[in-house]
Amino acid sequence: MNVLLWVLAGVLAVAFLAAGMMKLSQSKQKLAASGMGWVEDVSAGAVKTIGALEVLAAVGLVLPAALGIAPVLVPLAALGLALAMAGAAVVHVRRGEAQMITVNVVLLALAAVEVWGRFGPYSF
């Protein structure tokens, strides 16, 4: 199970690192044109903040445990991502974007498994 949790953390880290870097590197207009219509409802600063938090969480999923420095940050990062996906799902429900809700629910479930495993029976 420990290997599965490491793989899960890696998959989540790659997904959120890519999503966060996209939000940090592209303008609101470009993000909206690429299918992220929700960016029209928030400020540019909020989009950049969300991107930065996703990048930090991606790093927090892997680096603390890999270095053996404050590994408790791994489940905390996963918890933060699970909460972010719950919030994202609410935004997509309000906007009527059913396809995006599915992505949010899957990522939330993966993050929840990581939280359960690392706070529970397979902690560091």
Distance CA 29, CA 15 (A): 22
Tokens found for residue 14 = 């790659």
- The SS3 assignment for 95 reads helix
Read off the pLDDT of each residue in 7-30 and give the average, rounded to a whole number: 97
- The SS3 assignment for 64 reads helix
| Stated pTM of the model | 0.92
Using a pLDDT cut of 70, give the percent of the chain over it.
100
Distance CA 78, CA 107 (A): 10
Q: Encode pLDDT of 98-114 as tens digits.
A: 889 999 999 999 999 99
Mean pLDDT of the chain: 96
The predicted structure's pLDDT at residue 82: 98
The predicted structure's pLDDT at residue 124: 77
Q: How confident is the model at residue 2 (pLDDT cuts 50, 70, 90)?
A: very high
Distance CA 55, CA 89 (A): 19
- How many residues does the structure list for the chain? 124
